[in-house]
Chains A and B, each alone.
Chain A
């Protein structure tokens, strides 16, 4: 896991110091102009106080050892940690400021407890929808008692991520995917399990099922021994995300993209855990592709690509995406397309991609819950608009079903429909 270093700047005057310096200069100037010493006498402490404050505190940037972690489930996000300081830095002089990442909201104000050498903090955030977002680095700085000067604190800590996605995605990796590699025998994983190619023998656990016991070996040794198997790697999956803008507007599009990214992250995590190969495509104006691969490095690549994904301003034609996909991915790879299906352009992507040889499952985050949340008014007219929007949505989803199975993702904390679709045997035959 990569680590980040806080700040390297050593010293800076704060706005309050500039206020006092400025006031001192103005008073001195007025005093000289009016030939009155009284403003000069007021100016003396205003000028001296920031300089005196600069004499306080550590001579070099203080160093903190920060340890923090994210906990909580579903909507609840708890960030807790400590920042420890060595002598002579007094932790009570250190100011810590946190920023709530976009997509999360603050449930309660942050709790910060200070002692002489340690600051303990607890942040209480809420995620209303699935989200994957890095926790912004807090600003940690030493300040003098009056707040005239500040020395940023040097600190190192591992990157922290808030990862909230539907719970069903944790087990989606168990779905058997289709292979796209010529020789299936060469796709063994390093994972040891209860089925697959024979790997070795080990001492049996008390709860071992009888089928797994190697009776001959047990009879020879005199102890119960169980067989171990090397699990065959499952097939490949391509996650294709449509990052083109739609008529819904940037805020709704952004929220839907955030949902798609969270779902893609959860799906990729789950399949990579099962040693499957996962590829990623982000289609805006052009296709940004991460070719199929497995392992931790691919996990990091996918994470970084998803975190960097933004809505494009100039959308490309759907056919371009389908053509570009063939340059990076073999045909036949199971493709999960994450698109809002909010307009014709996003719906057009489905037939184009399917005709290029990619069996598709469309996962479409529905904009309706977001739109209902945005329109606070609860009158007959808005109800009617909502019903029409629902009918239009249903019509578009049913039209898309002609080309590929669609999951209409309305309950953002559940993706049971996607798991069912991927497990359905009919999917195997639905190719080109």
Chain B
């Protein structure tokens, strides 16, 4: 059972089954052979989770890579359509929730980091809605529009907050 530092609790994070479901779902929907897709998803998931939970301290930093590579690889083979694109977007969101739900980070946790994954989820919904629910039903248009809107929003925010990047206090003459 659980060891002194809650070894089982470290494994039983809610984000792990969510990420597994997302990767397997994208693998199922992709045009790859089912076995190939499932293997790619399973390897990415197992490597990421394993490195995070069992890897040496220096190797844990690369644990986000395997699931990201698997997700990116599977996304290349997704066909055009409302369901595959929605699955791709939410797989990305669920990947972010997995990053937030890190047992080694005291500040981590799905609830505490809700804003970090909720804003991307809204972005995905906007892009998907813009792409498939509006009259001009082009998925790329929605995605590009959402990215552009978000980029402008981020630019406005970052330009408005110079203190984010200034290392020295502003001089007053």
Interface residues in B68-103 by Cβ distance below 8 A to A read 68, 71-72, 75-76, 78-80, 84-86, 88-89, 91-93, 95-96, 99-100, 102
**Distance in Å: Cβ of A92 to nearest Cβ of chain B:** 6
Flag whether B109 is at the interface (Cβ < 8 A): yes
On chain A, the residues within 8 Å of B76 by CB distance are 30, 34, 36, 38-39
A45–B72 CB distance below 8 A: no
B166–A10 CB distance below 8 A: yes
Interface residues in A253-294 by Cβ distance below 8 A to B read none
A40–B143 CB distance below 8 A: yes
On chain A, the residues within 8 Å of B140 by CB distance are 31, 35, 37, 40
B147–A43 CB distance below 8 A: yes
Interface 0/1 of A27-65, CB less than 8 Å to B: 110110011111111111111110111111001100000
**Distance in Å: Cβ of B33 to nearest Cβ of chain A:** 18
Interface 0/1 of B123-162, CB less than 8 Å to A: 1100110010000000110111011001101100100000
The answer, among B92, B151, B157, for a CB contact under 8 Å with A42, is B92
The answer, among B68, B72, B124, B163, for a CB contact under 8 Å with A44, is B124
CA distance A86 to B68 in the complex (A): 37
Flag whether A121 is at the interface (Cβ < 8 A): no
CA distance A52 to B112 in the complex (A): 13
Flag whether B113 is at the interface (Cβ < 8 A): yes
CA distance A41 to B76 in the complex (A): 11
**Distance in Å: Cβ of B8 to nearest Cβ of chain A:** 20
On chain A, the residues within 8 Å of B120 by CB distance are 44-46, 48-49, 52
Interface 0/1 of A20-32, CB less than 8 Å to B: 0001001110110
**Distance in Å: Cβ of A240 to nearest Cβ of chain B:** 44
Interface residues in A163-192 by Cβ distance below 8 A to B read none
Flag whether A385 is at the interface (Cβ < 8 A): no
B151 closest partner in A (C-beta): A47
Flag whether B28 is at the interface (Cβ < 8 A): no
Q: A143-B105, A145-B116 in contact; A23/B123 too (CB < 8 A)? A: no
B99–A147 CB distance below 8 A: yes
Interface 0/1 of A407-428, CB less than 8 Å to B: 0000000000000000000000
Of the candidates A23, A30, A60, A95, the one having the most CB atoms from chain B within 10 angstroms of its own CB is: A23
B72–A38 CB distance below 8 A: no
CA distance A415 to B60 in the complex (A): 47
A51–B154 CB distance below 8 A: yes
A56–B163 CB distance below 8 A: no
On chain B, the residues within 8 Å of A144 by CB distance are 107, 113, 116
Flag whether B59 is at the interface (Cβ < 8 A): no
On chain B, the residues within 8 Å of A46 by CB distance are 68, 92, 95-96, 120
The answer, among A16, A23, A145, for a CB contact under 8 Å with B109, is A145
Of the candidates A26, A37, A47, A147, the one having the most CB atoms from chain B within 10 angstroms of its own CB is: A37
Flag whether B119 is at the interface (Cβ < 8 A): yes
Q: A36-B78, A37-B140, A38-B75 in contact; A45/B107 too (CB < 8 A)? A: no
Size category of the binding interface on chain A: 35 or more
CA distance A245 to B33 in the complex (A): 68
CA distance A107 to B16 in the complex (A): 34
B115–A45 CB distance below 8 A: no
B106–A95 CB distance below 8 A: yes
On chain A, the residues within 8 Å of B131 by CB distance are 37
Flag whether A68 is at the interface (Cβ < 8 A): no
The answer, among B64, B91, B127, B166, for a CB contact under 8 Å with A19, is B64
CA distance A51 to B79 in the complex (A): 29
Q: A10-B163, A56-B116, A92-B106 in contact; A41/B96 too (CB < 8 A)? A: no
Of the candidates A46, A55, A94, the one having the most CB atoms from chain B within 10 angstroms of its own CB is: A46
B116–A49 CB distance below 8 A: yes
A92–B107 CB distance below 8 A: yes
Flag whether A8 is at the interface (Cβ < 8 A): yes
CA distance A47 to B120 in the complex (A): 8
On chain B, the residues within 8 Å of A51 by CB distance are 119, 150, 153-154, 157
Flag whether A15 is at the interface (Cβ < 8 A): yes
On chain B, the residues within 8 Å of A52 by CB distance are 115-120
**Distance in Å: Cβ of A261 to nearest Cβ of chain B:** 32
On chain A, the residues within 8 Å of B75 by CB distance are 27, 38-39, 41-42
**Distance in Å: Cβ of B52 to nearest Cβ of chain A:** 12
CA distance A26 to B131 in the complex (A): 21
B115–A56 CB distance below 8 A: yes
On chain B, the residues within 8 Å of A30 by CB distance are 72, 76
B65–A41 CB distance below 8 A: no
Flag whether A393 is at the interface (Cβ < 8 A): no
Flag whether A114 is at the interface (Cβ < 8 A): yes
On chain A, the residues within 8 Å of B95 by CB distance are 45-46
On chain B, the residues within 8 Å of A56 by CB distance are 115-116
B107–A95 CB distance below 8 A: yes
17 A-B pairs within 8 Å (CB atoms) are namely A23-B68, A30-B72, A37-B80, A37-B131, A37-B139, A37-B140, A40-B147, A41-B85, A41-B88, A44-B124, A45-B89, A46-B96, A49-B120, A52-B116, A143-B105, A145-B112, A146-B99
15 A-B pairs besides A10-B166, A45-B96 with CB distance below 8 A are A23-B72, A37-B131, A39-B75, A41-B75, A41-B88, A44-B92, A44-B147, A48-B150, A52-B118, A52-B119, A53-B113, A53-B115, A144-B113, A145-B109, A146-B113
Q: Closest 5 CB pairs between A and B?
A: A145-B113, A45-B120, A38-B78, A45-B92, A52-B119
A residues touching B (Cβ–Cβ < 8 Å)? 8-11, 15-16, 19, 23, 26-28, 30-31, 34-49, 51-56, 59-60, 90, 92-95, 114, 143-148
